[in-house]
């Protein structure tokens, strides 16, 4: 009886270990799989050429990712520029100024926002943001715009990353030691001066981690951006130009990729590119956050 129970425990523990190893190694398996599939296009060209060329002619075997990379950078950049100040101000308000009730009312809606599927953000972008840009924003700056632009993609993405940034900043700001604030206030600083000169400085690593995490989320977002960006494979020169981010490129062309040689390899290379960048960004921000956590616990 005793040995059977112990044996059972041992077998189950080995099984669980196997599951754990398998699911953790998913990171490596995905990376290796995507790299393996990208080899043909890499043999045909070099990393440098793939990343800096603008010529995209799949039928001739020419794949230049530069316009797509720029499209991704524009959309992500706009999203961060819009979202970061808004989220920092919001988090400061609910942590430092507002009655706790405000936080209790606001946070559930922020959580609900984070649960809304990407495609719904896309539909909202088409129905609300596109007409807004086309009729009310763009006419002040350019002669004509359809509204489908990197700006539209940036705004939709900004709203999508609100919950992520706000919830991380909330945690970071709430761990700020009360003594620091008290010291600054006792020296005669106003509350805003305390925030500006003490809290924000102290919270900087947390803000950076939240930003890096938000960037990596924005990088990989596919369908919502695809629906509002215009998907024109040229390098955007203004916020009202259409762009064509990398994830949209992958999603839009999966239909033809098997019929043209090297095309599937090129698209898998795009996925590999996304994977590597996002992996790095994620690791960086997680390390900053866990360091912060340990420092606060100590």
Partner 1 sequence: MRRRNLEELFFKFLMVLATLVVGGSFFLIVGTIFYKGAPYMTFDMLTKTPGGGFYIGKEGGILNAIIGSMYVAGGATILGLIISIPVAIYLNMYMDGKKFLSNTLRMVFDVLFGIPSIVYGAFGFLIMVYFGLRASLLGGIIAVTLLVIPILVRTLDEVIRTVPLELRDAALSLGSTRWETAKVVLRAIRPGIITAILISFGRAIGDVAAVLFTAGFSDNIPTSLHEPAATLPLAIFFQLGSPIEEVQGRGYASALILTIVVLIITILSELLVKKFYKHKS
Interaxial angle between packed helices 246-253 and 263-297, expressed in degrees from 0 to 180 and rounded to the nearest 10 = 140
What is the phi-psi region of residue 147: left when phi exceeds 0, alpha when psi lies from -120 to 50, beta otherwise?
Answer: left
Minimum CB separation from partner 1 for residue 237, in Å? 26
What is the phi-psi region of residue 5: left when phi exceeds 0, alpha when psi lies from -120 to 50, beta otherwise?
Answer: alpha
Contacts with partner 1 in 59-78 (CB under 8 A)?
A: none
Task: Based on the shown chain and the rule CB under 8 A, indicate whether residue 98 belongs to the binding site for partner 1.
Answer: yes
Q: Is the CB of 192 or the CB of 237 nearer to partner 1?
A: 192
Q: Is the CB of 108 or the CB of 177 nearer to partner 1?
A: 108
Number of residues this chain uses to bind partner 1 (CB under 8 A): 84
Contacts with partner 1 in 157-176 (CB under 8 A)?
A: 159, 162, 166
Q: Show the site string, 193-222: x = touches partner 1 by CB under 8 A, - = not.
A: x-------------------x--xx-xxxx
Q: Given candidates 174, 191, 197, 295, which one binds partner 1 under the rule CB under 8 A? A: 191
Structure tokens at 105: 């009312």
The sign of the torsion formed by the CA atoms of 94, 98, 101, 102 equals: negative
Task: Based on the shown chain and the rule CB under 8 A, indicate whether residue 35 belongs to the binding site for partner 1.
Answer: no
Structure tokens at 252: 């839009």
> In sequence order, what are the residues at sequence separation of 6 or more whose Cβ sits closer than 8 angstroms to the Cβ of residue 9?
none
- Straight-line distance from the first to the last Cα atom of the chain, in angstroms, rounded to the nearest whole number: 46
Q: Given candidates 52, 54, 111, 146, which one binds partner 1 under the rule CB under 8 A? A: 111
Q: Given candidates 52, 139, 192, 261, which one binds partner 1 under the rule CB under 8 A? A: 192
Cβ atoms of 282 and 213 closer than 8 Å: yes
> In sequence order, what are the residues at sequence separation of 6 or more whose Cβ sits closer than 8 angstroms to the Cβ of residue 87?
162, 165, 166, 169, 210
Cβ atoms of 163 and 111 closer than 8 Å: yes
Give the separation between CA 246 and CA 109, rounded to whole angstroms: 31
Structure tokens at 206: 């947390």
Q: Given candidates 46, 93, 142, 295, which one binds partner 1 under the rule CB under 8 A? A: 93
Q: Given candidates 63, 65, 74, 121, which one binds partner 1 under the rule CB under 8 A? A: 121
Where does this chain touch partner 1 (CB under 8 A) — which range of 45-53, 118-126, 136-144, 146-154? Answer: 118-126
Q: Is the CB of 18 or the CB of 55 nearer to partner 1?
A: 18
Q: Is the CB of 75 or the CB of 159 nearer to partner 1?
A: 159
Task: Based on the shown chain and the rule CB under 8 A, indicate whether residue 23 belongs to the binding site for partner 1.
Answer: yes
Q: Is the CB of 35 or the CB of 238 nearer to partner 1?
A: 35
Q: Is the CB of 153 or the CB of 247 nearer to partner 1?
A: 247
């Amino acid at each position: 009886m005793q040995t059977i129970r112990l044996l059972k425990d041992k077998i189950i523990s080995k099984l669980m270990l196997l599951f754990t190893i398998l699911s953790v190694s998913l990171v490596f398996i995905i990376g290796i799989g995507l790299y393996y599939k990208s080899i043909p296009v890499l043999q045909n060209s070099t990393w440098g050429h793939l990343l800096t060329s603008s010529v995209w002619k799949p039928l001739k075997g020419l794949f230049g990712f530069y316009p797509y990379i720029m499209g991704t950078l524009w959309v992500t950049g706009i999203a961060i520029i819009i979202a970061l100040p808004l989220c920092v101000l919001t988090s400061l308000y609910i942590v430092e100024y507002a009655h706790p009730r405000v936080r209790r009312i606001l946070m559930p809606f922020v959580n609900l926002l984070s649960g809304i599927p990407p495609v719904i953000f896309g539909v909202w972008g088409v129905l609300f943001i596109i007409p807004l840009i086309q009729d009310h924003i763009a006419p002040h700056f350019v002669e004509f715009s359809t509204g489908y632009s990197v700006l539209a993609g940036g705004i939709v993405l900004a709203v999508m990353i609100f919950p992520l940034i706000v919830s991380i900043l909330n945690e970071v700001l709430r761990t700020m030691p009360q003594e620091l604030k008290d010291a600054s206030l006792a020296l005669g600083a106003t509350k805003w001066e305390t925030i500006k000169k003490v809290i924000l400085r102290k919270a900087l690593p947390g803000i950076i981690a939240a930003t890096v995490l938000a960037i990596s989320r924005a990088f990989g977002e596919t369908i919502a951006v695809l629906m509002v960006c215009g998907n024109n494979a040229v390098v955007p020169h203004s916020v009202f130009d259409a762009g064509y981010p990398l994830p949209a490129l992958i999603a839009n062309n999966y239909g033809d990729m098997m019929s043209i040689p090297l095309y599937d390899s090129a698209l898998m290379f795009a996925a590999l590119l996304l994977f590597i960048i996002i992996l790095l960004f994620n690791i960086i921000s997680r390390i900053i956050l866990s360091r912060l956590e340990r420092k606060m616990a100590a």
